A and B are shown apart, each in its own frame.
Chain A
Amino acid sequence: MAFFLQMLVTGVVVGSVYALVALGFVLIYKSSDAINFAQGEFLLIGTYVCLTLVASYNVPFIAALLLALAFSALLGWSVEKVVLRPFIGKPVISMIMATIGLSSVLAGIVHIIWGHETRVYPPVFSEKPLQFGEVIIAPVYAWSFVIVMIWLMIFTLFFKYSRFGIAMRATADDQQAALSMGISVKTIFAIAWAIAAIVSAVGGVLLGNINGVNSSLSLIGLKVLPVAILGGLDSIPGAIIGGILIGIIESMTGGYLDPLVGGGLKEVIPFVILVIILMVKPYGLFGKKEIERV
């Protein structure tokens, strides 16, 4: 039972990070109908910037995190302006290939600047494990969960009450109506990309604190796909629930099934689920069904 709970807790924590990254992904899809294959690279750049500030310039962690987030926001904003703007309304394949090209460029820049080897954060959170009954939790995990929850709260409030948040929801609902109400859809797109980069950076910093930082961290960008599809590509609550579900399933697979097959199943199981969902319920748990006409 303790093992089960342990796996459950790990799953929920990792899943909540997935949820956060998927949130950015869904946000971009909702507002501009683009699927962002460069999400993983946003994550990587955010965490590397934070790591460099902490490790090389001795900036306090919180300040470094905020600087990294500001940098990510700027990156997301300018990427949308420079790269994605020409592709609004273009065929799906152009959009997909544009973000794939973007991810290749960003990954190349990361390799040039930071190289390939794994780096670790200097210990930020205390190392003393927390004990909850039978379950032992590393403080990194606990803090990650708390930080993700804070961010999800911030976004819920942002979408509900702030001017931009409401404008974003309006744009996602109907671009033309939003335009005619005086909302600058271009600004909304740019904000969506900036937010996506910010949440990815937060996710990257947390995962970097848990596992260390190397370029394979950008694979999270692909893992977000099953999460977003499970919840429904255009549903923000779907992304959060999907993220936690995928995290739990992954962790359980890693704990119970991987020893049987000799490892590696953990990485694949989200994609197996993805195929099953696509076959059974293509618009996910909360996605909006598209109706097509000739």
Chain B
Amino acid sequence: MVRNPFVMQCGEFHVDYKQDMAIWKIARVRWRIFMIVALFALFPMVATDYVVGLATLCGIAAIGAIGLNILTGFTGQISIGVGAFLGVGGYTSAILTTKLGLSFWIAFPLAGLTTALVGALFGIPSLRLKGLYLAIATLAAQVIILFVISRWDSLTGGTAGLVLNRPQIGSFTFMSETSYYYLMFVVLLITIVFSLNLFRTRVGRAFIAIRDRDIAAEVMGIDLFKYKVLAFFVSSFFVGIAGALLGHYTMIVSPELYSISVSIEYLAMILVGGLGSVFGSLYGAVFITLMPVVLRSVVDVLSGTFPGLEGVLVGMKEVVFGAVIILFLVYEPDGLNKIWSNIKNYFRLWPFSYTK
């Protein structure tokens, strides 16, 4: 018998820990998720190339944002160096595929691994530094890595950067927007499934304990140094993967693509989406990636009535971007994810919302 998969549960009636830990809280959710995944898998069939391209960029940003959220949202270690780590991923893949002639399928995981190692290296100070000081140290990492990238001409092509190719399987090249979307989609799915499960394991729980109170966590027997460096490692792995995907998508890597403003954009994504939430990173990535596009089209519409609006678009983007960050911080610090779960909770008991 097929029942409506979008029927909501009307409360939580868990009787043991196994139910509490379950990803699918009720069996029917499974079908709902499968349908949503199928919807996104089928979406390029109807959408134009431009929209599919935007979706690809959103997805790649989401992979990076999930990576950053593992570090900042779940483990509480603020990093302002994501931009440079994206760059490490992109450049590793670029160097391995163009200079060494390796296949994308080998270079891609290696890019993640290299970024993870670099990330872990810059995570070592996290044992002594926390909060503000760590944020400043990662900012230094950003500046130093970018300097190395733009100066090591023989390896990285200096400020001009490197040109990449799209990946291939046999004679098939992921040249079209749609095919690259599917490549991104598979990686994104793996990232989401991995990170959702990560926080059901010992390691993930340790990360959360460190975020909530690191000294208390240490007293409980969590090796702070090991888990903090591990958090940097895992987080940077996904950021590097995202960097490599982005590099092969835009087919160019150059230092100015990985500036500090990129780091800030990624921080904004997890903040707007929701710190410490896997799906929040996804919503935030989509929000921040699409914001300039939406603003652009609004300006296009309005420029008929307000000439000169075109000229201030760059400045306007910055103002809107900053204002969005501040407004979210003031009015909904838990981000889009919280807004979405508030909506769901409202309808869970609707129309008897007073029965808690």
Contacts and interface: CB of A to CB of B under 8 A. Distances in A.
Interface of A: 35, 83, 86-87, 90, 92-94, 96-98, 100-112, 222, 225-226, 229, 233, 261-262, 264-265, 267-268, 271-272, 274-275, 278-279, 282, 292-294
A294 B216 contact: yes
Contacts of A35: 132, 135-136
Contact of B136 (A87, A262, A278): A278
Interface stretch (B39-47, B55-63, B98-106, B319-327): B319-327
A83 B325 CA distance: 11
B139 A225 contact: yes
Contacts, number: 133
B137 interface: yes
A94 B322 contact: no
Given A86-B330, A100-B325, A279-B128, A109 B315 contact: yes
B151 interface: yes
Given A93-B275, A271-B144, A111 B312 contact: yes
Contacts of B128: 278-279, 282
Contacts of B318: 104-105, 107-108, 111
A13 B15 CA distance: 70
A94 to B, nearest CB: 5
Chain A interface, DSSP helix/strand/loop, else mixed: helix
B143 interface: yes
Given A35-B132, A271-B144, A278-B125, A98 B315 contact: no
Nearest to A86: B330
Chain B interface, DSSP helix/strand/loop, else mixed: helix
Q: How large is the interface on B (under 10, 10 to 19, 20 to 34, 35 or more residues)?
A: 35 or more
B264 A100 contact: yes
Interface in B244-294: 260, 264, 267-268, 271, 275
A103 B322 contact: yes
Given A93-B72, A93-B275, A105 B319 contact: yes
Among A93, A108, A110, find the residue whose CB has the most chain B CB atoms closer than 10 A.
A93
B326 A268 contact: no
B109 interface: no
5 contacts: A86-B329, A93-B78, A110-B315, A279-B125, A282-B133
Interface string B120-155: 000001001101110111011101100100110000
A264 B80 CA distance: 21
Given A87-B329, A104-B325, A294-B219, A275 B137 contact: yes
Interface in B305-325: 312, 314-325
